[in-house]
Amino acid sequence: MCLNRNVQLAFLVSLFFVFGCGNKKEGPKGIVLEVPVINVLTQDVPVMSEFTGQTLGEEDIQIAPRVKGLIEKIHFIEGSFVNKGQLLYEIESLTYQNNVSVAEAKLSEAKTNLAATKSDFERMDALVKMKAVSEREYEAAKAKYDAGNGQLNAAEAQLRNAKIDLSYCFIKAPIAGIIGISKFQIGSYVSPGPQSILTTISSTSSIRVRFTIAEQEYLRLYKEKQKADNNLNTGSGIHLKLSDGSDYGIVGSYSFANREVDPTTGAIILEAKFRNPDQLLRPGQYVKVLVSPELRKNALVIPQRAVIEMQGIYQVYVLGDSNKVNLTIIQPGPSFKDAYVVESGIKSTDKIAIGGTMLLKNGSTIIPKPTEWNPGLNIEKPSNTK
């Protein structure tokens, strides 16, 4: 009886294992992913770096008063184009006109005094030759004549200064360009100094763009610029992207680099110049400066999405034998649209798996899904399971 009970128990246990194991689901190790796989592209790529820059006028001239007084008249419309020499502001001039009148009176007095001392000196000169007067009297007459000349020169200089101050009451445009908003209105009191900048005129037929780059990037650009066929030398290596993402459409030219590298940031300021025939660009805009100093021939190109970066190490999944992927270290070069130029680590015949799932590991077996791509085009996202 006991033996039969043991046989029955063993039979039930065996059934439990048979049915239990048969219904058990396969774990994550059994999942086979269908993953997009792309070919490494080989093509000529313009090596392009992107920097943030700010626009300036070809000339940006601040208009400031050189005499003090109340603004009596304003002769321009804010934001309009003004010509060189056009009258912009009038500062009350009565005081300066009076100064001119006083200076003219002093000049007349100095001329009269000089005429009298000159006559005395010439008379003394004749008498001293006849020994009719003493040398002392002659020297005194000469001294008065010399002093009269000095007074005349001083009076003439004072009149010139008074006329210059009077002319400063009429502020004129030093250049042709677009004039900004006036910071002072009629009736405002102004005086010389940085606190009384009236407005700014910008010449905008061309626009300057200044941008900052790292020292290492500057060294690379400098070395590339030494080549005769460099894009910076041929005038096709600098482009602009506006704040709305559109291309400006006119190629710029390299102007200069600042004299020093900022020791606190390790960066240097560069400047480029762009024609502005339609007056689209205005000073103060923030833009993207695209610098393309060279054309990389037969470069290996892969999507940035395919690259895994961790602590400065860049890796990609390379499809190997038996559809297994191998995590391979690469050395990425410059960016190109949404792709990388690869310096080393892969070959032109390699196929790269696009990750995007935590289930994909080094050595995983996948179902490759051949996918066409080109830089700038989206790539289909991989499936999670198959």
Query: Binning pLDDT at 50, 70 and 90, where does residue 23 land?
Result: very low
- Give the right CATH number for 93-168 from 3.30.930.10, 1.10.287.470, 3.90.1480.20, 3.20.20.70: 1.10.287.470
> What would the mean pLDDT of 222-238 be, rounded to a whole number?
75
Residue 385 has pLDDT above 60, yes or no: no
For the chain, give every residue range classified as CATH 1.10.287.470.
93-168
> What would the mean pLDDT of 257-278 be, rounded to a whole number?
94
Q: What is the three-class DSSP state of 179?
A: strand
For the chain, give every residue range classified as CATH 2.40.30.170.
50-58+207-296
Q: Is the dihedral of CA 111, 117, 119, 122 positive or negative?
A: negative
> What would the mean pLDDT of 300-316 be, rounded to a whole number?
91
Q: Which is higher by pLDDT, 239 or 356?
A: 239
**Burial class (CB within 10 angstroms; exposed 0-12, middle 13-18, buried 19+) of 373:** buried
Task: Note the pLDDT of residue 123.
Answer: 84
> What would the mean pLDDT of 259-271 be, rounded to a whole number?
94
Per-residue pLDDT tens digits for 175-209: 999 999 999 999 999 999 989 999 999 999 999 99
For the chain, give every residue range classified as CATH 2.40.50.100.
65-90+173-197
Mean of the per-residue pLDDT values of the chain? 86
For 65-90+173-197, give the CATH class. mainly beta
Cα–Cα distance measured from residue 151 to residue 343, given in angstroms and rounded to the nearest whole number:
81
Architecture of domain 29-45+297-370 in this structure: Beta Barrel (2.40)
The Cα angle at residue 274 between residues 44 and 209, in degrees rounded to 5? 95
Query: Binning pLDDT at 50, 70 and 90, where does residue 61 land?
Result: very high
Residue 230 has pLDDT above 90, yes or no: no
Query: Binning pLDDT at 50, 70 and 90, where does residue 386 land?
Result: very low
Q: What percentage of residues in the chain have a pLDDT greater than 70?
A: 89
End-to-end CA distance of the chain: 53
Q: Is the dihedral of CA 346, 349, 355, 360 positive or negative?
A: negative
How many C-beta atoms surround the C-beta of residue 281 within 10 A?
23
Closest to 283 measured CA to CA, from 183, 171, 181: 181
Architecture of domain 50-58+207-296 in this structure: Beta Barrel (2.40)
For the chain, give every residue range classified as CATH 2.40.420.20.
29-45+297-370
